[in-house]
Amino acid sequence: MSTIKDYKDLIVWQKAMDLAEEVYRLVKKLPKEELFALSDQIRRAVISIPSNIAEGHERNSIKEYYQFLSIAKGSKAELETQLLLCVKVHYLEASDIEKALTLIQEIGKMLNVLQKHLIPKT
């Protein structure tokens, strides 16, 4: 499939893990009443990104890999929406989520490139 032997060697996976670490830091700033609502959704979305990259890489099919990368992209969009909502409802400041948004954009571009490389050239 590629010269990358282990999903942990993928820069996109490494950045997704950095994003998860950053988002877990941000979630600690949310009000306690959001502990089991928005913060739980945010944690699930951010965990889904590196998890789906890893799972897809370990599959034996390029088609499955592509699908898992698509799921990671969906989780990325979900996470971005949730972080923007946190700013909109004044749980976080725009400056609080800047690093996370930058990582989200980088990861999105990398996922797009990775998917393009999986499509056979015709």
For residue 49, the model assigns a pLDDT of 98
Ramachandran angles phi, psi of 18, nearest 5°: -60, -40
Query: Could you tell me the mean pLDDT of each successive run of 10 residues in the chain, 122 residues long?
Result: 80 98 96 87 98 96 96 98 97 97 98 92 60
Query: What pLDDT is stored for residue 1 in this prediction?
Result: 44
Residue 76 CA neighbour count, 13 Å, CB half: 30
- Report which residue type is found at 70: S
pLDDT of residue 86: 96
Query: Of 23, 118, 6, whose CA–CA distance to 66 is shortest?
Result: 118
List pLDDT tens digits, range 17-48: 999 999 999 999 999 887 788 999 999 999 99
Please name the fold of domain 7-118.
de novo design (two linked rop proteins) (1.20.1440)
What is the predicted pLDDT for the residue at 3? 67
* Confidence (pLDDT) at 60: 86
Q: What is the 3-state secondary structure (H, E, C) of 46-87?
A: HHHHHHHHHHHHHCCCHHHHHHHHHHHHHHHHHHHHHHHHHH
85 HSE (CA, 13 A, CB side) = 14
Of the candidates 72, 44, 77, the one whose C-alpha atom is nearest the C-alpha of residue 57 is 72
What is the pTM for the complete model shown? 0.92
Query: What's the pLDDT at 78?
Result: 98
